[in-house]
Structure 1
Amino acid sequence: MKPPAYWFDGRRPPVHARALAGVYGLATRMRKSMLRRHAVARPVLVIGNLIAGGSGKTPLTIAVVERLQAAGWTPGVASRGYGRDMPRSARWVDAVSDPALCGDEPVLIASRTRARVRVDADRVAAARALIGAGCDIVVCDDGLQHYRLRRDVEIEVIDGRRRYGNGALIPAGPMREPAARGAECDFRVLNTAMDAGLVPAFGEWPMRLETGHALPLLGGRARAIAAFAGQRVHAVAGIGDPERFFDTLRAHRIAVVPHAFADHHRYTAADLRFGSDLPVLMTEKDAVKCMRLAGERHFSVPVTAQLPEAFWIALLDRLAGLR
C-alpha cells in the first residue's frame, strides 16, 4: 500500500488522521508499559526502524549475520515473515522455501547467509527455537516494536532520503513510535544507499548499498552491472521505497523504465509483461518471488551493505561482553 503523500511532502495531515494518531500513540504507550518482557538464554540483537515501510533493514541484517559468522558466532535470524500465508504458523526457512509461506525477506536472508532462519509471529518462541537448534545469538530482522522479547542490543536503521517524514505518528505520518525512541537504541545506522550527498547526523553510522553485478534468474554467469550502462531496461521494485532502487540503477548510467509495486507484492506473469524484450532488472527481494515466472532476460541485482570498520569493531566489542 502506497503511503499518503502528506507523510513526506510537507503538507499538513487531515484532521481525522491527526486525531487517530493520538489514539495510536496512547495505545502504543499502554501496550509497551503492560507487556511482560521475556528473556532467552542467548544474546538478542534487534535491527529495526521507526517508520512504516522499508529503510534498508534487510541488507543490514545480512551484513550483520555475515560479520557475526566471520567472528565465530553462530547467528540465527528470527522474523515475523511479513505478508505470508498462515502468518500465525512457525516455519524454518531456507534458500528454496516458498516466499508465500515464509515471506520474501526471510527467504532472501537464508539464501544469502545460509544461517538458520525461523519465522514466527511469536518472536520469543522463534528465538528459543533458534537457540535450541544451536544458535548462540539471535538476530531479529525487524522487531524494534516487538517488546515481548527482551533484547541486548538495538540497531535503528534510518532511511537517509526520507528520514522521519513529517515526524507524526501513524496515520498522520509514518512514525511507529516517536523519533525520540531512536535515542534509546545502541546504534543508529543511516542508509545513504548510493547518495554521497546524504551526511549522517551526530551519532549515526553511514551505510552504503553497493552493487556490482546482476544475476540471471534462470542461472548462469553474472553480468557486470556496468554492462547495462547506456541501455534501457525495465526496473522492477516491490519494496518500501522503489525509487531508491531506480536511483541505484540510474547511478550506473542505466536508462530506467520504472515499474513500482507495493512492498511485499506477490507477482503474477502479467506483472512482468511489459510489451518489449528489454532486460528486466529487479531487487533481490522481488527475485525470490519471481523465479517461476522468469525468462532469460530477467536479472536480480544484489546489494551489499558497506559500513565503516569502526562500526563493526564497536558492535562486536559490545557483543563480546555478552558472549
Structure 2
Amino acid sequence: MIEKIWFNNHPLKYLMWPLLWPLSLVFAHIARKRKAGYLAGKKTSYRASVPVIVVGNITAGGNGKTPVVIWLVEQLQALGYNPGVVSRGYGGKAPSYPLVVTNETPTDYSGDEPSLIHRRTGALVAVDPKRPAAIRALEAKGVDIIITDDGLQHYPLQRDIEIVVVDGQRRFGNQQMLPLGPLREPVSRLDSVDFIITNGGEAQEGEMAMSLTPSDPVNLHNGEKTLLSELDSLVAFAGIGHPPRFFKTLETMGAKPVYTKAFADHQAYHQNELEQLAQQGSHLIMTEKDAVKCHQFAQANWWYLPVTATFSESDTQQLLNRIKKVMEEYGSSST
C-alpha cells in the first residue's frame, strides 16, 4: 500500500499525508544535517588509497544497481584492472566483519547481492555495515579500484565517481522524502552526481539509457541451459525491489506464467514454501539474485533467468574514459 501511495497516486494518500508529512520533514532535516557535517569536515570520512565508484540511488528500493555493478566489474576486468566490490550486506548477518565473500559463504551471512556479484564476476567482494572497514579489507588484498553497491548516502566514505541508477518506469514517484515518498535525498541531488543511468523506460536529457538483456534460463540443479520456450506451465517468483519488472521480462520473451508470486526484496526462502509454490505448475523460474539463496535445496525443475546490463557504445566509452582518467590521477594504470 505504501508503494501505491508513493508511485501510483493512490487515494489513501489523503489519509496518510497528515500522518507521514511531519515524519518526512524530520527525515529530511536529519539527512541534510548529517550530510553537511561530513562535507564541512566536522565528521570524519574515509579516503581510500584507490579510486572509489559509488553506484547508488536516491529512492528506497531496488532500481537495478547490482546489474550495473556487475557490468562495471566485468568492463574493468576486461581492461586489466583488479576491481573489488563493497556492500553493507543488506539481508545478511555475519558472525564478524569485515566479511570477504567466497562461493561457500552462506547468503545468511553476506546477503544475496554480494554473493551474486562474487559468483557472477569472481571479483573480491567485502561486506561490512561500515563500508570503510570493507574497503580496508580489499585494500589489503591488492585491488586497484573499488565499486560500492549502494552507498550514495554513506557520507563517511569519500568517493571519486558517483553513479545514480533510476527506475525508468517509476522514476521518483510523488517526489517526497521518506516516509511520505520514496526519496532518500531530494531530486536536486542528481545535479551533483557524475552519471545518471536510467533502467528501462525513457531516458531523459543527460541520462544514460540502460536495458537488462536476459539470457537463456539456467537450471539450479545442474547448471544446464535451455530455451525459455521449452519450459511449459511456468511458475515465476521474485524477491527484488520491483518484482513486476521480472514478470514483464518473462512476458516480453514470450513466456506466459500460469502463476506469479512477488516476495519482499532480500526475502529469505525456505525449502517447503518454494516446493509448494512449484506445485502450481511444471517449472519454477526465479531471478539470479533469488537463485543464490536456493542452490542448496534446488529441485531438478527449478531455473533462474540471468540478465545483463547493456549500454550504447558511446555511453560505455564515456563511463570508461572517466574511470580511466581517475585511475591515471591516482597513478594507477591498466595492464
Could you say which TM-score interval applies, normalised by the shorter chain? over 0.9
The reply to whether residue 57 of structure 1 matches residue 48 of structure 2 is: no
Per the alignment, residue 224 of structure 1 pairs with 227
Equivalent in the alignment of 2:269? 267
Q: Which residue of 1 aligns with 2:249?
A: 248
Aligned 8 A contact 1:38 1:124 in 2:
yes
> What does the per-residue CA deviation read over 1:159-212, in whole Å, with 9 as the maximum and x for residues that have no partner?
0111111110110011111111112110000001xxxxx221001101110112
Cα distance, 1:86 vs structure 2: 4.1
Aligned to 2:41: none
Q: Deviations over 1:134-164 (max 9, x none)?
A: 1000100000110111000010000011111
Q: Which amino acid aligns with 2:151?
A: G
2:313 matched to 1:314? no
Report the residue type matching 1:205 in the other structure: M
1:85 Cα deviation from its structure 2 partner = 1.7
Write the letter of the residue equivalent to 2:306: P
Matched, 1:77 2:85: yes
Correspondence for 1:213: 216
Aligned partner of 2:129: which letter?
A
Residue 87 of structure 1, CA deviation = 8.2
Choose the corresponding residue for 2:121, options 113, 116, 121.
113
Question: What is the aligned partner in structure 2 of residue 278 from structure 1?
Answer: 282
8 Å Cα contact 1:212/1:226 also seen in 2: no
Paired residue for 1:104? Answer: 112
Q: 1:220 to 1:30 in 2, by over 3 A?
A: closer
1:300 and 1:122 map into 2 onto residues whose CA distance is 31
Which amino acid in the other structure matches residue 205 of structure 2?
F
Work out the CA distance in 2 between the residues paired with 1:85 and 1:149.
21
Aligned match of 1:134? 142
Higher mean alpha-carbon deviation, 37-46 vs 80-89, is at 80-89
Residue deviations 1:83-126 (CA, integer Å, cap 9, x gap): 11248732010233210001000000000000000001111121
Asked whether the 8 Å contact 1:55–1:157 carries over to 2, the reply is yes
Pairing 1:204–2:204 present: no
C-alpha contact 1:211 1:225 (8 A) present in aligned 2: no
C-alpha contact (below 8 Å) 1:168/1:175 kept by paired residues: yes
Q: 64-73 vs 309-318, which deviates more?
A: 309-318
Answer whether contact 2:98 2:137 (CA < 8 A) is retained.
Answer: no
Match of 1:157, SS state, is strand
Identity, % of aligned positions: 41
Report what 1:195 is aligned to. Answer: none
* Residues 17 and 172, structure 1, Cα contact 8 Å, conserved in 2: yes
The structure-2 alpha-carbon separation of the partners of 1:132 and 1:3, relative to structure 1 and needing over 3 Å to count, comes to farther
Of residues 214-223 and 299-308 in structure 1, the stretch that sits farther from structure 2 once superposed is: 214-223
- How far is the alpha carbon of 1:277 from its aligned partner? 4.4
Distance 1:136 1:220 in 2: 32
Q: Moved runs in structure 1, 4+ residues, more than 4 A?
A: none
Distance 1:25 1:88 in 2: 32
Measured on the aligned residues, the alpha-carbon RMSD in Å equals: 1.4
8 Å contact 1:88–1:121 — kept in the other structure?
A: no
- The secondary structure found in structure 2 opposite 1:207 is strand
TM-score by length of 2: 0.91
Q: 2: distance between equivalents of 1:146 and 1:75?
A: 20
Query: What is the one-letter code of the residue matched to 1:312?
Result: T
Q: How does 1:158-177 map to 2 (within 5 A)?
A: 158-177=166-185
SS at match of 2:326: coil
The letter for the 2-side match of 1:259 is K
Distance 2:86 2:184 in 1: 20
Write the distance in 1 (CA, Å) between the matches of 2:315 and 2:177: 30
Q: Which aligned pairs between 1:142-153 and structure 2 lie closer than 5 A?
A: 142-153=150-161
Q: Structure 1: which 5+ runs fail to align? A: 193-197
Unaligned runs of 5+ in 2: 39-43, 328-335
